[in-house]
């Protein structure tokens, strides 16, 4: 989990802050300090519910919840408010903490998701939604569940609810944009994915999905740029993104550059599962020169 501590306008906090990570039941998990642009990193977290609490001189103590569904990087942005500004401030304070009963249902729902017991997960998360109808993380988890059930209509509804409750919920925005893209609704997916990337510009999977949607909408220059960004952010985790860059370049009429991208991909990844496809594309480009 990567935690960014921000001042009200979004700039890095210029005073030292104590950053503590708790499990949803209040059990302390870790404690460290932060100042300036460098984020705080909490490693080796298991799936479950957490909240971050930040204390800094001159600012109100602020809490922000985060749910880890699978073991991938989760980013949390905490916006601090000056002391005495609660009545005037429009800075979001984050979602409310879950009551103990709702916490238990969410924890048990997550455990069922991990065990692929989707029926039990649905039972628990539906109950959590009844107990906490205003909590965006609950509806995000329901969206994840319905994606697992391949019920994209209900997934979309749950994720839309999550983003209504928290318009800057990066994971819900990314998941909703992905669902729309998978349904072929690229025009609707693009602005949602753009917002997800704006909230979390280190999520290469979201950048890749956005680039793919833009390609299908014939927004080839935007697709090339976002695919390039995704490739850089992924740091070698998904070299096949380079094929999308080549596609966008070819669609822009830059066939020589497209061929160079494919050659670069094949030099670095000759045994990749996508290598045969890249060779076929490269052969066609070379024949048309």
Please report which confidence band the pLDDT of residue 238 belongs to, taking 50, 70 and 90 as the band edges. Answer: very high
Whether 206 is in a domain gets the answer no
Structure confidence by residue, pLDDT tens digits, 109-143: 988 988 889 999 999 999 999 999 988 889 999 99
pLDDT, average across residues 199-222 = 93
Rounded distance between C-alpha atoms, residue 278 and residue 13, angstroms: 46
Specify the pLDDT at position 73: 66
Whether 50 is in a domain gets the answer yes
Number of domains the chain contains:
1
Whether 142 is in a domain gets the answer no
* pLDDT at residue 275 greater than cutoff 90: yes
Instruction: Say which range, 8-17, 87-96, 114-123, has the weakest mean pLDDT.
Output: 87-96
Range 32-36, long-range pairs (CB < 8 A, 24+ positions): 34/3, 34/5, 36/12
Instruction: Kindly state the tokens that stand for 211.
Output: 């680039």
Structure confidence by residue, pLDDT tens digits, 65-81: 777 765 556 777 788 88
- What is the distance, to the nearest Å, from the Cα of residue 63 to the centroid of all Cα atoms in its chain? 20
Whether 187 is in a domain gets the answer no
| Share of residues in the chain with pLDDT > 70 (%) | 91
| Share of residues in the chain with pLDDT > 90 (%) | 52
Instruction: Kindly state the tokens that stand for 248.
Output: 């966008």
Whether 35 is in a domain gets the answer yes
Residue 262's contacts (CB-CB under 8 Å, 6 or more residues apart) are 242, 243, 246, 278, 281, 282, 285
Whether 41 is in a domain gets the answer yes
Specify the pLDDT at position 38: 77
Specify the pLDDT at position 248: 97
* pLDDT at residue 16 greater than cutoff 90: no
CATH number of 75's domain: 2.60.40.1120
- As a three-state string, the secondary structure of 57-81 is CCECCEEEEEEECCCCCCEEEEECC
Q: Which domain holds residue 13?
A: 2-79
Of 100, 104, 120, 101, the closest CA to residue 112 belongs to 120
Whether 14 is in a domain gets the answer yes
Whether 128 is in a domain gets the answer no
- Check residues 172 and 43 and name the one with the higher pLDDT: 172
- What is the distance, to the nearest Å, from the Cα of residue 259 to the centroid of all Cα atoms in its chain? 32
Rounded to a whole number of angstroms, the CA Rg of the chain reads 21
pLDDT, average across residues 46-58 = 82
Q: Are strands 75-79 and 2-6 parallel, antiparallel or unpaired?
A: parallel
Structure confidence by residue, pLDDT tens digits, 239-263: 999 999 999 999 999 999 999 999 9
């Amino acid at each position: 989990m990567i935690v960014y501590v921000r001042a009200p306008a979004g700039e890095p906090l210029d005073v030292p802050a104590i950053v503590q990570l708790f499990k949803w039941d209040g059990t302390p998990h870790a404690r460290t300090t932060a100042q300036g642009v460098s984020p705080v990193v909490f490693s080796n977290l298991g799936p479950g519910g957490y909240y971050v609490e930040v204390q800094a001189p001159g600012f109100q103590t602020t809490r922000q919840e985060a749910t880890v569904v699978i073991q991938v990087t989760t980013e949390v942005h905490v916006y601090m408010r000056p002391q005495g500004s609660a009545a005037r401030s429009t800075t979001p304070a984050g979602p409310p903490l879950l009551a103990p009963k709702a916490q238990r249902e969410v924890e048990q729902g997550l455990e069922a998701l991990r065990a692929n017991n989707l029926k039990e997960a649905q039972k628990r998360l539906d109950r959590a939604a009844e107990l906490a109808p205003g909590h965006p993380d609950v509806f995000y988890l329901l969206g994840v569940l319905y994606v697992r059930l391949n019920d994209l209509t209900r997934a979309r509804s749950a994720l839309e609810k999550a983003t209504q409750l928290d318009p800057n919920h990066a994971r819900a925005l990314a998941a909703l944009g992905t669902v729309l893209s998978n349904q072929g609704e690229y025009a609707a997916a693009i602005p949602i994915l753009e917002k997800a990337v704006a909230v979390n510009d280190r999520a290469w999977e979201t950048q890749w999905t956005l680039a793919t949607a833009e390609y299908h909408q014939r927004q080839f220059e935007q697709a090339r740029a976002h695919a390039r960004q995704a490739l850089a952010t992924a740091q070698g985790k998904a070299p096949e993104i380079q094929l999308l860059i080549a596609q966008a370049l070819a669609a822009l009429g830059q066939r020589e550059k497209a061929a160079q991208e494919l050659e670069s991909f094949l030099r670095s990844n000759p045994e990749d599962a996508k290598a045969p496809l890249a060779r076929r594309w490269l052969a066609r480009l070379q024949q048309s020169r």
